[in-house]
């Protein structure tokens, strides 16, 4: 029996998830298929139901459906509930189980793959939308000295910081309020790059000596944020491909109870 999985989103054509899961399946000897599903913008739930009716076992959910997947799930993991969004659906006997593996994907990539220390450091998240919300709790769990959320619309950053205040030292800031301040780790969680827009101007003082810049999105060439970060003095940087591979491995574990080794897959996708 071959188990069926898919990634669902809109757009979806350029998703690397099928290649990543094919690599995990080869490595673990799992008999699975993994396809891309383009759901109409108003047709996420119908497409998920159809996939389950056809025997589908699990879905990765990507933009713009993570909130709808949260609403669709009959049961939720704690981390999905905390993030308020679902990127992983598993078909159980009593309906969809919703989980969120994005946050752990980020912290594993930063700490385990890239050797970035979060504990005791000053960490800055740029953006306060869905992508930022999904990473705040796992970042706080890593024990930074401070976690600052900066956003073009400062009220959204304040609301997000308030939601997580009981989990750790988290503050909100406007772009202007960052002037003259510096951080050890700066994470771009805005959608400016994905939209192909110029970002609001962040101060060029953001990077402390030795600072690390991370872009949650990924591309074949350095992203606009990473090019800016290099010019502004970031010492090291990475885009979100490693996070994509780590969140995929965690989804694979949620579905199948087997944790793939991500190292050979990271090497496959990023040979340098």
Alpha helix stretches (DSSP H) within 115-173: 130-141, 154-164
Cα–Cα nearest to 130, from 155, 150, 156: 156
Q: Which residues pair with 170 in a beta bridge?
A: 147
Total interface residues for ligand ATR by CB under 6 A: 17
Segment lying near ligand ATR (by CB under 6 A), choices 28-36, 117-125, 149-157, 246-254: 149-157
Whether 16 is a known active-site residue: answer no
Calpha distance 238→199 (Å, rounded): 18
Task: Map residue 207 onto helix, strand or coil.
Answer: strand
Shortest Å distance, C-beta 68 to ligand ATR: 13
Applying CB under 6 A, among 17, 148, 151, 251 the residue interacting with ligand ATR is 151
CB neighbour list of residue 68: distance below 8 Å, 6 or more residues apart = 44, 45
Shortest Å distance, C-beta 159 to ligand ATR: 10
Q: At what angle do helices 241-256 and 17-28 cross, to 10 degrees?
A: 50
Calpha distance 221→31 (Å, rounded): 33
Segment lying near ligand ATR (by CB under 6 A), choices 98-106, 192-200, 253-261, 262-270: 192-200
Calpha distance 91→186 (Å, rounded): 36
Applying CB under 6 A, among 78, 112, 169, 197 the residue interacting with ligand ATR is 197
Convert residues 156-185 into a mask of x (bound to ligand ATR by CB under 6 A) and - (unbound).
x-----------------------------
Applying CB under 6 A, among 200, 232, 235, 266 the residue interacting with ligand ATR is 200
Q: Is 128 in the site for ligand ATR (CB under 6 A)?
A: yes
Which sequence positions are flagged as catalytic?
Answer: 66
For ligand ATR, the binding residues (CB under 6 A) are: 127-132, 151-153, 156, 190-192, 195, 197, 199-200
């Amino acid at each position: 029996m071959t188990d069926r999985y898919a990634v669902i989103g809109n757009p979806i054509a350029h998703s690397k998830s099928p290649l990543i899961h094919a690599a995990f399946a080869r490595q673990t000897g799992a008999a699975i298929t993994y396809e891309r599903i383009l759901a109409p913008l108003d047709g996420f739930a119908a497409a998920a139901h159809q996939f389950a009716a056809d025997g589908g076992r699990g879905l990765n959910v990507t933009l713009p459906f993570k909130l709808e997947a949260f609403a669709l799930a009959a049961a939720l993991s704690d981390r999905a509930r905390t993030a308020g969004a679902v990127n992983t659906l598993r078909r159980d006997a009593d309906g969809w189980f919703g989980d969120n593996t994005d946050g752990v994907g980020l912290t594993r990539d930063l700490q385990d793959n890239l050797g970035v220390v979060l504990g005791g450091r000053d960490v800055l998240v740029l953006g306060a939308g869905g992508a930022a919300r999904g990473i705040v709790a796992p970042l706080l769990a890593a024990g930074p000295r401070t976690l600052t959320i900066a956003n073009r619309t400062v009220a959204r950053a304040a609301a997000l910081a308030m939601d997580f205040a009981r989990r750790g030292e988290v503050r909100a800031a406007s772009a202007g309020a960052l002037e003259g301040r510096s951080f050890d780790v700066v994470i771009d969680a805005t959608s400016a790059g994905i939209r192909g827009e110029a970002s609001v101007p962040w101060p060029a003082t953001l990077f402390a000596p030795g600072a690390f810049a991370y872009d949650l999105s990924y591309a074949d060439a350095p992203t606009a944020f990473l090019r800016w970060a290099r010019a502004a003095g970031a010492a090291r940087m990475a885009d979100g491909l490693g996070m994509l591979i780590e969140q995929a491995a965690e989804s694979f574990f949620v579905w199948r109870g087997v944790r793939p080794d991500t190292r050979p897959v990271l090497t496959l996708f990023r040979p340098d």
